Amino acid sequence: MKISLYGTRGSIPAPSRRNRPTHEFGGNTTCLLVEGASGRHFVVDGGSGIRLYGEDLLKANKAMFSPDKPLVALLTHVHWDHIQGIPFFTPIYFPKNSIVFYGNCNYVSSLNEALQNSEPKKITQFALEKQQGKFVFPVRFSDLQSNVTFGDNEDLREGLEIDGLTIRTRGVNHPEGCYSYMFLENGKKFVDLTDHEHEPQLSVIGPKDAKMMKWIEGADVLLQDAQYTPEEYDPEQAGKKGTKKVGWGHSVDEKVIRMAVDAGVKRLILTHHDPTHLDQFLLDRETVLREYLGLQLKEKGLPENAMSVEYAREDTSIEL
């Protein structure tokens, strides 16, 4: 299994500038590719990074996906930073290309829509059509020449095996809902857990936290949202003043580390970087968090190499 990071930024793209560098960790919003041992592609989320994935497919002459082996696109949810790159994903315009989007459950926007349709549209389909709707984008989603179909994330709860790789999913704590994806292959476990907010009490591991720790237990690699520092998330708990971000749907780096240690995660990669977090901030914070991890491991009597922590860097890959 190979995991390639095409977008590691959260909320909105943060292009690198001379006085605001972001090239070390990346400025594109969320997108990652999982390649199974069979060579099958599973792309997770369609933030601005998916445009680069499309370019790589074209360069490698691998941009065509047949009906029997479609590109599997897994959307954690349809907030803008997770779908905004899809209109610029070139392979979606190719005739006869087959793409299946797995996403949120059924949704009906109005009684009129319910009466006009034999079955309600998926939230995913509804959002992608609105993103390329009239007055918003010059090409309608319905005009794309590729063969696009939609699956339901709820169908992945018990696991879906495709060419030897198993995908499972669970709902996580985020406004309007979100899903985490687990990938299992050849005894290895990778979990993508973006846009999840732990319980707000930073010093306490609550029941909901324990449930999520069971989900990530023993992961060889965990890619998890850790957009905020404790001071940013809840200044009051940190003894400071400022705007709370409790309830915004994102996690705190230090609590994520403690939960990952207790869950027996081997490699923790923190992602969904806040757009205000520039390269130097993340480099400095990464040093602080590695020291913090060391203290946590020592406190629990675990060896120094029991777990590693790092920030996700765009345009890098992980082999499992």
The mean of the pLDDT values for the chain is: 93
Looking at residues 61-75, what average pLDDT do you find? 95
Handedness of CA 258, 237, 9, 292 (dihedral sign): negative
Angle between helices 279-299 and 253-262 (to 10 degrees): 40
| 3-class secondary-structure state, position 250 | coil
| Whether residue 11 has pLDDT greater than 80 | yes
Write out pLDDT tens, residues 177-212: 899 999 999 999 999 999 999 999 999 999 999 999
Cα–chain-centroid distance for residue 191? 10
CA-atom Rg of the chain in angstroms: 20
d(CA 283, CA 66): 42
Per residue in 244-264, pLDDT (tens digit) is: 999 999 999 999 999 999 999
CATH number of domain containing 138: 3.60.15.10
Q: Quote the pLDDT of residue 28.
A: 98
- pLDDT value for 118: 47
Closest CA to 263 of 306, 204, 200: 306
DSSP assignment of 15-50: --BTTB--TTT--SBSEEEEE-TT--EEEE--STTH
Which whole number is the average pLDDT over 86-104?
A: 94
Report the percent of the chain where pLDDT is more than 90.
Answer: 87
Question: Directed axis angle between helix 207-216 and helix 253-262, to 10°?
Answer: 60
295 Cβ neighbours under 8 A, 6+ residues apart: none
Looking at residue 201, its pLDDT comes to 95
Q: Hey, what are 248's tokens?
A: 């915004």
pLDDT band at 123 (very low <50, low <70, confident <90, very high): confident
User: Which tens digits make up the pLDDT trace of 218-248?
Assistant: 999 999 999 999 999 999 998 889 999 999 9
**pLDDT value for 104:** 81
Total number of domains in the chain: 1
Question: Residue 112 — very low, low, confident or very high, per pLDDT cuts 50/70/90?
Answer: low
What pLDDT is attached to residue 176? 87
Region 35-58 average pLDDT: 98
Q: How many percent of the chain have pLDDT more than 70?
A: 95
Vertex 8: Cα angle to 288 and 48 (nearest 5): 155
Domain that holds residue 290: 2-319
Q: Are strands 147-152 and 267-271 parallel, antiparallel or unpaired?
A: unpaired
CA dihedral 31, 36, 38, 43 (to 10 degrees): -20
CA 251 to chain centre: 13
Model confidence pLDDT, tens digit, residues 255-314 = 999 999 999 999 999 999 999 999 999 999 999 999 999 999 999 999 999 999 999 999
| pLDDT value of residue 267 | 98
